[in-house]
Amino acid sequence: MRPMAQVCMVMNLDKCIGCHTCSVTCKQTWTNRPGTEYVYFNNVETKPGLGYPARYEDQERWKGGWTLDRKGRLRLRAGSRLRKLLTIFYNPDLPTIEDFHDPFTYDYARLITAPPGTKSPSVSARSALTGRELNPRWGANWEDDLAGAPQRARSDPNIATMSERVLMDFESVFLFYLPRICEHCLNPSCVASCPSGALYKRSEDGIVLVDQDRCRGWRFCVSGCPYKKVYFNHRTGKAEKCTLCFPRIEAGLPTICSETCVGRLRYLGIVLYDADAVTAAAATPDPRDLYEAQLSVFLDPEDTAVQSAAEQAGIPHDWVVAARRSPVYALIARHKVALPLHPEFRTMPMVWYIPPLSPVADATAAAGYDAADPDAVFATIDALRIPLQYLANLFTAGDVAPVRDALRRLAVVRSVMRATQLGLEHRNDAAEELQMSTADVEDLFRLLAIARYEDRYVIPPAHAEDAGRLLAQHALSGCTLESEGAPGMGGKGPSTGGGPVSGRDLAGRLHLRLVAEPTGRDQ
């Protein structure tokens, strides 16, 4: 066992109202500058829909993430280092600006300088890249609230693989919002794809970052990331990505997207995991078993053996205490209501989602049943193949069982708490069937419904006394994950001896410069 700590996020999709506050505050904080106009470290997609960039989930097309070779070993889907070398000046798997969008602005000055007598002057969109007049045809949130869905949403990769025909009509409409940031994966394919060793996963908290000094702009991280959450800054010629707001995380504060979330749907906390088990878990043969495999990598912070192993591995005591209080670990492992996004990409993503019950509850109510009656909701969950299979394609590589159980647990919490509040009789058989104790239901209710700021964000601050050592070590070592046998390399199985017990000694905390100095040609 080689315990490591990771800051991990869970988002409760039932609470997302699609207001895009997270996208806007993230953009204001991190990517509101020339070169990153089209970059959204955080974006919110309406599902069903193609997402951003269009159809990023289709790895047949983009070749992101990992796959297994004939011997069952992990290989980058984009192919070997040799293929990379051959395509280094033309990477066919790279999305273009058309797949993202041509960002636009307006010639606002014309509104003020229009000659007197102009009746209600109006200006059209202009490309923020070329300055030329632009006819917007696609964008970072083009499909808001199912706009254009009848024409386009069947090409959503999560629908395209479904055997059922998804009806695009008013009577069977369902939608939910999917906010996305970088997954800060345990087995990041972006890190493994980088020819320059510029991407690294910080060993102290698992945040995946781009070293702006090392990045040479080859962009294999962009194509290697199956979530398309590494972006290319066309001004600096360097890759950039979600930093999980590490300066805030180091200070014990939530990310900007979490801090400003109107629906309070985000949770941040520590998950302890066994770094030696990651590669084997990511190489689980059946993609449908990857969810369980990833769960098996997580370590139970209540286990005293784990606690002592963690402290021996250099994880500070207060981090272990925080792991025990972690809302994220509770939602993922204790209550099993949160699920990973596309585990079949085999990157072991660390931003998990509570699937939305509302499409089911809406359908239950539309059918004339009480949406708070667990029997009716359970029957609807099973009858509604379409949202269920769709959610399974997003979260469990198509296996509906974990999604169904998560939705049933959410339904049980609603019905039990409703009955309790109203003083009604309720039966416990549904909870018993799901092996939920009364305390489980109450804990889950507190987490989902009334968790306060300090309950949603349990983030131990970085240890200042380690900062100098971490920073000094960084320059020498780069990232542990690219050394032999580390999860970022994959395919070699767990490392055996020789190395340090934990990555902390070799890890670096780098004060990352996101904005490179402008070159003369930009001035």
Partner 1 sequence: MPAATWYEKHDLSSTDMHPFVHSFNPAIAPPWEARTDFDYFSDLAAEFSRLAERHLGVRKDVVAVPLGHDTPDECAQPGGRALDWQAGEVEAIPGRTMPRIVVVERDYPRLAERWRALGPLIDELGATTKGVPLPIGSEVGYLRSHNGTIRDGIAQGRPRIDRDDLFCEAILALSGTTNGRLAVAGFEALERRTGVVLADLAHERAGDRITFADTVTQPRSVICSPEWSGTESERRRYAPFTINVERLKPWHTLTGRQHFFLDHEWMAELGEMLPIYRPPLDLIATFGSQQAPAARDAQLVARFLTPHSKWSIHSEYQDNLHMLNLFRGGPVIWMNHLDAASIGVEDNDWIEAFNRNGVTVARAAVTHRVPAGTVLMYHAVDRHLQMPIAERSGLHGGTDNSLTRVVMKPTHLIGGYAQLSYGFNYYGPTGSQRDEVAVIRRRSQEVRF
Residue 149 or 192 with smaller CB distance to partner 1: 149
CA neighbor of 447 nearest in space, from 305, 299, 371, 336? 336
Residue 262 or 501 with smaller CB distance to partner 1: 262
Concatenating the DSSP letter of every residue in 414-434 gives HHHHHHHHHT----SHHHHHT
What span, in angstroms and rounded, lies between the C-alpha atoms of 520 and 287?
A: 49
Other CB atoms within a 10 A radius of the CB of residue 137 amount to 9
Closest contact distance (angstroms) between CB of 106 and partner 1 is: 6
What span, in angstroms and rounded, lies between the C-alpha atoms of 236 and 239?
A: 9
Closest contact distance (angstroms) between CB of 471 and partner 1 is: 34
What span, in angstroms and rounded, lies between the C-alpha atoms of 75 and 34?
A: 36
CB 242 within 8 A of CB 41: yes
Closest contact distance (angstroms) between CB of 100 and partner 1 is: 11
Residue that has been written with the tokens 């490591």 in this structure: 4
Closest contact distance (angstroms) between CB of 204 and partner 1 is: 33
Residue 118 or 435 with smaller CB distance to partner 1: 118
Closest contact distance (angstroms) between CB of 54 and partner 1 is: 14
Query: Omega of the bond prior to 48 within 30 degrees of 0, cis?
Result: yes
Amino acid identity, position 402? P
Other CB atoms within a 10 A radius of the CB of residue 74 amount to 24
Residue 149 or 430 with smaller CB distance to partner 1: 149
| Residue-level length of the chain | 523
Closest contact distance (angstroms) between CB of 184 and partner 1 is: 24
Query: What letters, b where the CB count within 10 A reaches 16 and e where it falls short, cover 187-196?
Result: bbbbbbbbee
Closest contact distance (angstroms) between CB of 137 and partner 1 is: 6
What span, in angstroms and rounded, lies between the C-alpha atoms of 299 and 310?
A: 10
Residue 118, CB half-sphere, CA atoms under 13 Å: how many?
A: 11
What is the contact surface with partner 1 in residues (CB under 8 A)? 17-20, 23-24, 27-28, 101, 103-106, 111, 119-125, 136-137, 139-142, 144-152, 168-170, 173, 175, 262
Closest contact distance (angstroms) between CB of 125 and partner 1 is: 5
Residue 100 or 267 with smaller CB distance to partner 1: 100
Residue 120 or 163 with smaller CB distance to partner 1: 120
Q: Are strands 351-354 and 3-12 parallel, antiparallel or unpaired?
A: parallel
Residue 45 or 373 with smaller CB distance to partner 1: 45
Closest contact distance (angstroms) between CB of 146 and partner 1 is: 5
Residue 142 or 298 with smaller CB distance to partner 1: 142
Residue 149 or 207 with smaller CB distance to partner 1: 149
CB 88 within 8 A of CB 195: yes
Q: What spatial distance separates the first Cα and last Cα of the chain, rounded to whole Å?
A: 53
What span, in angstroms and rounded, lies between the C-alpha atoms of 37 and 107?
A: 16
Residue 125 or 512 with smaller CB distance to partner 1: 125
CA dihedral 76, 78, 80, 82 (to 10 degrees): -160
Closest contact distance (angstroms) between CB of 10 and partner 1 is: 23
Closest contact distance (angstroms) between CB of 17 and partner 1 is: 7
Residue 117 or 520 with smaller CB distance to partner 1: 117
CA neighbor of 403 nearest in space, from 181, 166, 165, 158? 158
Query: Omega of the bond prior to 53 within 30 degrees of 0, cis?
Result: yes
Name beta bridge partners: 8: 269
